[in-house]
Amino acid sequence: MSTHELYTAEAGRAPWTVPMTGDTRFTWEYDDGRDRLLALYQKGKDRQWDQVTRIDWDLEVDPYDVMGVPDQSLAIYGTRHWDKMSEKDRRELRRHQASWQFSQFMHGEQGAMITGARIVETVPDLDAKFYSATQTMDEARHVEIFSRFLTEKVGLVYPINPNLQNLLGETLNDSRWDMPYLGMQVLIEGLALAAFGVIRDVTTKPLPRQILAYVMQDEARHVAFGRMALRDYYRELTSAELAEREEFVIEGCLLMRDRIRGREVWENFGLNPDEINELVSESPYLRMFQSLLFSRIVPCVKDIGLWSERIRRAYEDMGVLEMSKADLQALMTADEEIAERLDAERFAAEEAERRAEVDAVIERARDDH
Give residue-wise pLDDT tens across range 141-169: 999 999 999 999 999 999 999 988 998 99
User: CA distances (Å), 68 to each of 14, 90, 201, 202, 222, in order?
Assistant: 36, 14, 11, 8, 29
Comparison of pLDDT for 252 and 282, the residue scoring more: 252
d(Cα 225, Cα 217) in Å, to the nearest integer? Answer: 13
Residue 357 pLDDT: 65
Residue 261 pLDDT: 75
364 within some domain: no
pLDDT, mean of residues 76-95: 94
Q: Is the pLDDT of residue 293 over 90?
A: no
CATH number at residue 219: 1.10.620.20
- Let me know if 82 is exposed, middle or buried by CB neighbors in 10 A (0-12, 13-18, 19+): middle
Q: Is the pLDDT of residue 291 over 80?
A: no
Residue 29 pLDDT: 86
336 within some domain: no
d(Cα 214, Cα 51) in Å, to the nearest integer? Answer: 9
> DSSP letters along 176-222, please?
STTHHIIIIIIIIHHHHHHHHHHHHHH---HHHHHHHHHHHHHHHHH
249 within some domain: yes
The contacts of residue 255 (CB under 8 Å, 6+ apart) are: 163, 164, 166, 167
pLDDT, mean of residues 164-187: 90
Q: Is the pLDDT of residue 187 over 70?
A: yes
366 within some domain: no
Q: Which domain holds residue 46?
A: 3-11+35-328
62 within some domain: yes
pLDDT in tens, 163-172: 889 989 989 9
Residue 195 pLDDT: 87
367 within some domain: no
2 phi, psi to nearest 5 deg? -70, 140
23 within some domain: no
pLDDT, mean of residues 36-47: 91
pLDDT in tens, 91-140: 999 999 999 999 999 999 999 999 999 999 999 999 999 999 999 999 99
Q: Is the pLDDT of residue 36 over 70?
A: yes
pLDDT, mean of residues 304-328: 93
Partners of 157 in beta bridges:
7
Residue 365 pLDDT: 62
**How many structural domains compose the chain?**
1
196 within some domain: yes
- Let me know if 345 is exposed, middle or buried by CB neighbors in 10 A (0-12, 13-18, 19+): exposed
Residue 352 pLDDT: 65
